[in-house]
Amino acid sequence: MFRLAVGGEDVTSVGPMSFRVTDSVSARSTCDFALLDQSKVRTLQTGETVVATCHGARIFAGSVDRAVRRFSLPHSYAVLEVKCVDYNQLCDRFVVNQVFEDLTVKDIVTQILTDPETTLGDTIAPLSAEGITLGDVLTGVRIKKLVAGFRTVNDVFNELADASGLMWNIDFHKKLHFVDRSTHRAAFDVTDAQAVYRGLGLEVDRGKYRNRQILKAGKERTDPLTESFKGDVASVKPQKRRRTFNLSFPVGKGPPWYDALGNVSPTGKRDSTYKLPLRVKRAEVVQRLGVKGKQKDGDLTKPTPTTWPQWFYQEDEKEITQNSKEDETNNPTLANSEELQVEYTGTFPFVADVQSDTEIAARQALEGGSGEYIDVEEDESLDGSDFAIEKANRKILVHGVIAREVPYEYDAPDSTVPALSVGPGLAAGKIQTISISELGINALYLVDTVSLSLLPDFRTFRISVKALAGEHDEDPVAFFRRLVRAGQKITIRENEVVIKAKQLADSIRIVDTLTDSVNNPPLTLNPYTDDPYTFAVALIVTVGGKEIHGVVAGRSRMGVPYGV
């Protein structure tokens, strides 16, 4: 039996004039329905919960996203047209501001779900506050580093899914899942033995077809390089001598990797000790390094008087810059008699060009001409030609065949819908075998879209399905599994810097006596409570040994009595 509840109220008896659920791989699950309102006073608020069930099983759950009231004159009733979205939309409302290092997919997902600081929560993580709980989440690959600087939870989950080959979803019971798509099978297949499907057909489309892929990738690495620099001549005053030196190439990722003392990683891999992509020597003495924007510049006491950075660098930049603090005793500028030596691996732009000779020959035989279909894409996040060529090859595998779409629909009594609809049996993202001899197809297809409509008898549902093969029959699963098998960890936007700033509010009463040392006789300075033109005072306050900058100790707005 079908039931529809809005805001906890059962509105089935009101008589939904229509009801439709759409589940799609590339979009949120949505629910559209229209309610007859004979009282003409019923209202719906965006955000109200909506739950649709069939024989007790949920076929949709989410919230009102849009509501429109329409009147039909001269009839004495109104119609409420409602559009809802599922719980996945919660991931668009909250952001992640965190750096994750050497964690599995499950570790990161759990931290986002439960740690308030990671998602800018107060005392409880926002998703947990919305009732989202951990469901079936596989351990997944180990992520070497993921920098999420104020990115939506949805974006971070999508990146984790791409990096691991998993697919994620928040179900109708608010459980968060990260599962293996290859085991995410539909409850049934479509074969010659079943004659219950209408509109079954095969559509072919070359819209995204390509047999040659040009990928303007990110950076390729040079061989290890060593470059040397001299300081300015002695006649140049120290304060005017160069502190910045430009390398021939931007600094790239190793190997080799160095520790803080300049030792090379014996494994050739980056870890918590060997994490520097370059080594800088001054007169053969290894220098202390800091990352621009991350370590403090211009201070010879931070983090300690013996560990302050002498030189700064940033990956993907050419500049090597000396600490800006002017101190010719402790931080002397480079002299002309000294040599600054920088050992690093540089990077340069790289373009991958991959083609399928078989497909080109097939198109040439069929169409004549060159047979080439060229596509150009950009992905600056790719680091190294191996990854760029791998991705270009995968693009050819995915889009190097003419896409095939199989639409079909069938009617099902409401008693069978929980097993066959957008619930546990047939949902977007699931895999099913379609084998129809008359269409000449027998392959695995990805369920791209499922639509579920309630027919006028309120006991039958019409289920429409669109399944895809070709451009969607190859996904990132195989590519990233090969990385895992090779023992490689995945890095996502490593070179970003996340700066966390918290605003602390407190009241401080400061009493002091101001005197005028300029004028004779001295001017009389009134208290700021009596003088609306008193200048606001900004201080640096030390709390627990840490400096808090920009604290407003006294505040007065120009022309406002009592400086309020």
pLDDT band at 555 (very low <50, low <70, confident <90, very high): very low
- Determine the Cα–Cα distance for residues 201 and 478; give it in Å rounded to an integer: 29
Q: Are residues 228 and 329 in the same domain?
A: yes
Predicted local distance difference test score (pLDDT) of residue 183: 73
**Tokens 């083609």 appear where?**
355
Residues 495-534 pLDDT 10s: 444 444 343 445 555 555 555 566 666 665 555 444 444 4
Flag whether 103 is in a domain: yes
Cα gap 174→49, rounded to integer Å: 12
Which structure tokens are listed for 396? Answer: 């050819």
- Mean local confidence (pLDDT), 541-560: 48
Q: pTM score > 0.95 for this model? A: no
Highest mean pLDDT among 162-171, 196-205, 351-360, 535-544: 351-360
Is 100 contained in some domain? yes
Residues 241 and 323 in one domain: yes
Shared domain for 21 and 42, answered yes or no, is: yes
Q: CA 373, CA 67: separation in Å to the nearest integer?
A: 45
Output the domain CATH number for residue 42. 2.30.300.10
Using CA atoms, how far apart are residues 15 and 35, in angstroms rounded to an integer?
Answer: 6
Looking at the fold, whether 234 and 304 belong to one and the same domain comes out as yes
Structure token pair of residue 505: 């509010």
Q: Is 236 in the same domain as 344? A: yes
Mean pLDDT of 5-22: 86
- The pLDDT-based confidence of 544 (bands split at 50, 70, 90) is low
Residue 13 pLDDT grade (very low, low, confident, very high; cuts 50, 70, 90):
confident
- Whether residues 74 and 107 share a domain: the answer is no
In a domain, 543, yes or no: yes
Q: Is residue 228 located within the same domain as residue 320? A: yes
**Are 105 and 139 within 8 A, CB to CB?**
yes
Mean pLDDT of the chain: 80
Average confidence (pLDDT) over 95-105: 89
Residue 237 maps to a domain: yes
338 & 221 share domain: yes
In a domain, 284, yes or no: yes
Same domain, 25 and 130: no
In this model, does residue 109 exceed pLDDT 90?
Answer: yes
The 3-class SS string of 477-522 reads: HHHHHHHHHCCCCEEECCCCCCCCCCCCCCCCCCCCCCCCCCCCCC
**Which of 126, 160, 183 delimits the end of a domain?**
183
Looking up residue 177, the CATH number of its domain turns out to be 3.55.50.10
Give the pLDDT confidence of 235-274 residue by residue, as tens digits: 888 888 899 999 999 998 878 999 999 999 998 888 889 9
Q: Give the range of the structural domain holding residue 233, as residue numbers without chain letter.
A: 217-350
User: Which pLDDT value is given to residue 377?
Assistant: 86
Q: Which of 158, 148, 164, 144 is nearest to 103 (CA)?
A: 144
- Name the domain boundary from 38, 67, 89: 89
**How far does Cα 146 stand from its chain's mean position?**
10
In a domain? residue 383: no
Q: Are 328 and 227 found together in one domain?
A: yes
Give the model's pLDDT for residue 492. Answer: 54
How many domains does the chain fold into?
4
Whether residue 231 sits in one domain with residue 171: no
Provide CB contacts within 8 A for 519, sequence distance 6+.
none
Q: How many CB atoms lie within 10 A of CB 320?
A: 24
Report the C-alpha gap between 474 and 457 in whole angstroms.
41
Residues 260 and 168 in one domain: no
Residue 395 lies in a domain: no
What would the pLDDT profile of 44-85 be if each residue is shown by its tens digit? 889 999 999 988 889 999 999 999 988 766 667 788 899 999
For the residues 153-174, what does the mean pLDDT come to?
87
Q: Is the pLDDT of residue 215 over 70?
A: yes
Domain boundary among 183, 206, 240: 183
Q: What is the pLDDT of residue 269?
A: 84
Per the domain annotation, does 63 fall within a domain?
Answer: yes
Calpha distance 68→46 (Å, rounded): 11
Q: 417 vs 434, which has greater pLDDT?
A: 434
On the question of pLDDT at 420 being above 80, the answer is: no
Instruction: Check the CA dihedral 444-449-455-459 and report its sign.
Output: positive
